[in-house]
Amino acid sequence: MKNNNNTHKEKLVSAKKHLGQHFLTDLNISKKIAESLISNTKNILEIGPGMGVLTQFLLESKANVQVCEIDSESVEYLQNNFPQLNGKIIQGDFLKLELEKLFTEQVSIIGNFPYNISSQILFKALDYKELIPELVGMFQKEVAERVVAEHGNKTYGILSVLLQAYYDAEYLFTVHENVFNPPPKVKSAVIRLTRKENTDFINRKLLFSIVKTAFNQRRKKLSNALKSLTIPKSLESHNFLNLRAEQLSVNDFIELTKIWEDGKTKSD
């Protein structure tokens, strides 16, 4: 938290539970998170900067840094302490931002995210994947584990498959609760998502509906779990259908989607 040669005592932002505010107090960890962005994108958007503990390190890079913060008290703090952010603070709810209007160029996303909306942030990033080459974020450890989980793992699910279809997902490091003020009840972890090349061939809508439907009944074989989607004939005897959702790798799901799409076109 930079002082900006301010002679009066700074008033700190009071932590609001409903906004998921847990302020990071360890500058080494903060720096490590900022350095985890490696793609050198010209634009960086930080979600939920709070009092700028992460922002200050981002501002040391050459990138154009913008921040999105919903809390007016935090926005005021940032305005008073980070003159470099003048005109670069988007005050509002990240989940409501029309990113395509705000960014015409690629933008990487970073944040110590509010945990109450972490999955929604990830799904939103996925909606805008064409715009977002990289995302580094701190999540509750359990969500981070779900994002990077591989098939066969209990935590492997919708979030894992859909994100990993389009991004390489890495679990970077675990963060202990006592480096936050106030400390959260759970451990945290930082992950990095790096967009994959050549994913345009995937029928995204179909992949989403197959994956969501399959995991909604994760104990059932796909032949049963996917019945409501009308399985194309070409797939009926495929071995994938004898498996449960968690037994299929991300590539299996992509292949299944491809065969499904081809089968549908043929029967049309």
- Asked if 19 touches ligand SAH (CB under 6 A), the answer is yes
- Asked if 246 touches ligand SAH (CB under 6 A), the answer is no
How far apart CA 218 and CA 161 sit, in angstroms, is: 13
Q: Which two tokens stand for residue 121?
A: 């942030």
Q: Which two tokens stand for residue 187?
A: 């451990």
Instruction: Name the residue nearer to ligand SAH (CB basis): 47 or 158.
Output: 47
Q: Which two tokens stand for residue 231?
A: 């399985």
Nearest-approach distance from CB 168 to ligand SAH, in angstroms: 24
- Asked if 124 touches ligand SAH (CB under 6 A), the answer is no
| Phi-psi region at 4: left, alpha or beta (left = phi > 0; alpha = psi -120 to 50) | left
- Asked if 175 touches ligand SAH (CB under 6 A), the answer is no
Beta strands in the chain (DSSP E): 23-24, 43-47, 64-69, 89-91, 107-112, 134-140, 167-175, 180-181, 188-195
**Helices (H) then strands (E): counts for the chain:** 10, 9
- Asked if 117 touches ligand SAH (CB under 6 A), the answer is yes
Name the residue whose CB lies closest to ligand SAH.
48
- Asked if 69 touches ligand SAH (CB under 6 A), the answer is yes
* Interface segment toward ligand SAH; rule CB under 6 A; list 68-76, 81-89, 208-216, 233-241: 68-76
Instruction: Name the residue nearer to ligand SAH (CB basis): 21 or 257.
Output: 21
Among 29, 37, 44, 49, binds ligand SAH (CB under 6 A): 49
How far apart CA 52 and CA 43 sit, in angstroms, is: 17
Binding mask 202-241 for ligand SAH (x = CB under 6 A): ----------------------------------------
Among 1, 29, 53, 190, binds ligand SAH (CB under 6 A): 53
Instruction: Name the residue nearer to ligand SAH (CB basis): 74 or 81.
Output: 74
Nearest-approach distance from CB 82 to ligand SAH, in angstroms: 13
Instruction: Name the residue nearer to ligand SAH (CB basis): 190 or 245.
Output: 190
* Interface segment toward ligand SAH; rule CB under 6 A; list 44-52, 80-88, 161-169, 219-227: 44-52
Q: Report the 10 Å Cβ neighbour count for 151.
A: 18
Residue with tokens 């074989």: 221
- Asked if 94 touches ligand SAH (CB under 6 A), the answer is yes
| Phi-psi region at 152: left, alpha or beta (left = phi > 0; alpha = psi -120 to 50) | left
Which one, of 16, 37, 53, lies nearest residue 45 by Cα?
37
- Asked if 109 touches ligand SAH (CB under 6 A), the answer is no
- Which of helix, strand or coil describes residue 239? helix
